[in-house]
Chains A and B, each alone.
Chain A
Amino acid sequence: MNSLSTPSELPVQVIAPARGWVPIRLGELWEYRELLAFLVWREVKVRYKQTFLGIAWVILQPFLTMIVFSIFFGKLAKMPSDGLPYPIFTFSALLPWQLFAFALTESSSSVVVNQRLVTKVYFPRLIMPISAIGVGLADFTIAFGVLVAMMAYYGVVPGLAALTVPLWVALAALAALGAGLWLSALNVWYRDIRYTLPFLTQVWMLLTPVIYPASLVPEQWRPLYALNPMVGVIEGFRWALLGTGPAPTVTLATSIAATTVILVGGLFYFRRMERTFADVI
């Protein structure tokens, strides 16, 4: 091979079979950030183009759910709500919850849905589940405006703690991504995932303080309960915006630890499985 005339700046790509666990390669992911942005943008655009109410759905969905919950759980079942009006109590949980549930569902199906791309183009496969999270975040941002309006209506004035909101949102997104990575890779091999998801998110919601306050859970079960990352997210979200109780530091630490385990495991699992995607899908 004559290497004298090879311009040294040309990148060399080696193609060879990989075995076992492979590195995540965040650098490459960064290189493809524009594609990620385009995929998120495409999804957001397409999703509301053919719907009658369009972007209003993003607001209506949590809002109507909040009304139903307020009637049945707040008024009829007299569910405790940490001294807050029940509507704002549950709505402040529904927002991060719907971000999580949507991001989880979409990222789980992301690889299968993008079959064509997987078999025809190369790009870091991680882009697919990550872009699904991006769409969820876009929705969340819009719906957040409603929460602000509700806080004004109920005269809730947040303190400095409100500055931690991005932290809780990020935690919800990362938890969804972590679980989504596992499920999206599994979904390529087992299409059962599609049927399990609605069930999974339903049960998961009951294990999360959306309808009821976390204070309802017996003290001795709390550490176990906090392993669900969404417990920390929603506790934190309520604390930040509505000023309920003391800062949930222990719960937060547990949730972050659980999320890290799910996310890092998910990244490696996904990278390990992705090399079979194009052949199996």
Chain B
Amino acid sequence: MSIAIDVDRLSKRYLLGEREAYGALRDTLARALRAPLRWINGRAAHASAVRESIWALENVSFDIRQGEIIGVVGRNGSGKSTLLKILSRITEPTSGRAEIRGRVGSLLEVGTGFHPELTGRENVFVNGAILGMRRAEIRRKFDEIVSFSGIEQFIDTPVKHYSSGMQMRLAFSVAAHLQPQILLIDEVLAVGDAAFQRKCLGKMDDVSRDGRTVVFVSHQMNQLRRLCGRCLWLDSGRVVNMGPTAELLNRYEASFMEASSSPADVQRSPGARFLGWTLGTSHQPRNTIQGFEPVTVRFFLRIDRPIQSGHHGIALFNRDSQVVWGTANDDLSFSPGTYELVYHLPLQLKPGSYRWQVSLFESGKFIDGVDLVPELSIETPPLGHRLDEYSGFLNLPYTFDVRRTDLSEQDLSLRSGTSG
């Protein structure tokens, strides 16, 4: 098989705080006045002299053969998204190079360019064009896209009247019909209900059978195990390993349970460190909920020095970074050792993936806090209305009846008056 993607010592450096780098002209002018020579010599040189930088990717090299489906795993901030952004030419590498053979389509977000004022039909065309489809191609696949989404009857309604679930379905359907020779996907399949996800994954299976190459970032190990022949594991911008999926993912998952991972992490921790989390009571790591019954969630915490009056906070975030649930516990004391913080609770949430954030404080001083990997994946069937499956947070089993009542309106107003 020939090589589809050849990545050679790719590196990307970000200047810290660069996202807020744009500012007022005044600042630049003031800087130019203070140090005219340095400014003239180039702002890049100036910036690196003053600002700290971070290597989002460092000397990353690997090959992907044509027709392979490659999964990319790693903690948040390990460089996965940066890698995809470079390969899809959204941003440039700082050094190194990559060669890509074939037309590239990338899917870093679903529904890019969707406009609420436009109808579903209009958005399919705009979004398709943005993703790199030709007008003729969109026209040819239009009916297929719409029927895949299952919202035929609303296709001429402005998207602003759609529920978020309907928007998502339509956006996914456009994306699922993107058929470039090389497809780069960033975690977008993490949203949505299991049935629709399966539909999309099935579409991807077809894609690979056509000899297309797919690079696929995901936190969902079950998806990766199903789809990918090989996986690439990144950590702190470097390649930890690349190899057959089963073996690599087992080691990747085990790494969360290890007492200490990298020396840098130990340095960072001033006395305690969250090691990871799992569902259930068995030793086997698990991060997927498939039923509605209450679950046991265990968080592993290593304590390096005695801690008095500890305060432990926890929050669960959804994909949109909204807090879905949170609580805190006071007056904890620990002696050095490894602990489990065990919660038992019902997590009847809309299907999708969620992120745990845990923290530990001592007398108001921060000790450790982290967004845990892997993400929590909820794969219960959605119980809401078919067109409104993802609205809100909760996926509650409920019953619904319509009954005739003998109460008069007066009775009703009396009741509401007395009960407040």
| Contacts from A to B (Cβ < 8 Å) | 1-6, 10-18, 34-35, 38-39, 41-42, 45-46, 49-50, 116-123, 188-192, 275, 278-281
Contact = CB atoms under 8 A, between A and B. Distances in A.
A15 B94 CA distance: 11
A15 B86 contact: yes
B334 to A, nearest CB: 42
Interface string B56-93: 00000001000000000000000000000111111111
Given A6-B2, A10-B181, A16-B93, 17 more contacts: A2-B1, A2-B2, A15-B97, A16-B98, A35-B129, A45-B118, A46-B118, A49-B117, A117-B112, A120-B90, A121-B106, A121-B108, A122-B106, A189-B21, A278-B85, A279-B14, A280-B22
Contacts of B102: 10-11
B190 interface: no
B95 A191 contact: no
B115 A42 contact: yes
A157 to B, nearest CB: 42
A240 B232 CA distance: 65
Nearest to B14: A279
Given A10-B102, A122-B89, A189 B3 contact: no
B152 interface: no
Contacts of B330: none
Nearest to B123: A42
A278 B100 contact: no
Q: Which 3 A-B pairs have the closest CB atoms?
A: A16-B97, A6-B2, A38-B129
A17 B23 contact: no
A1 B3 contact: yes
B19 A280 contact: yes
A87 to B, nearest CB: 35
Contacts of A1: 2-3, 6, 63
Contacts of B19: 279-280
Contacts of B109: 116, 120
Given A15-B98, A17-B95, A278 B103 contact: no
Contact of A280 (B21, B90, B122): B21
B229 interface: no
A46 B159 CA distance: 12
A13 B130 contact: no
A17 B113 contact: no
B264 interface: no
B126 interface: yes
B1 A121 contact: no
Given A6-B101, A190-B22, A280-B22, A16 B1 contact: no
Contacts of B135: 34, 38
A123 to B, nearest CB: 7
B392 interface: no
Contacts of B206: none
Interface string B2-46: 110010000000100011011111101000000000000000000
Contacts of A45: 117-118, 122
A38 B104 contact: no
B112 A121 contact: yes
Contact of B24 (A34, A46, A50, A192): A192
B134 interface: yes
Nearest to A192: B25
A12 B5 CA distance: 10
A269 B295 CA distance: 58
Contacts of B181: 10
A280 B90 CA distance: 12
B131 interface: yes
B90 A13 contact: no
Interface in B220-271: none
A108 to B, nearest CB: 14
B24 A11 contact: no
Contact of B98 (A2, A14, A118): A14
B130 A123 contact: yes
Contacts of B125: 38
Contacts of A5: 1-2
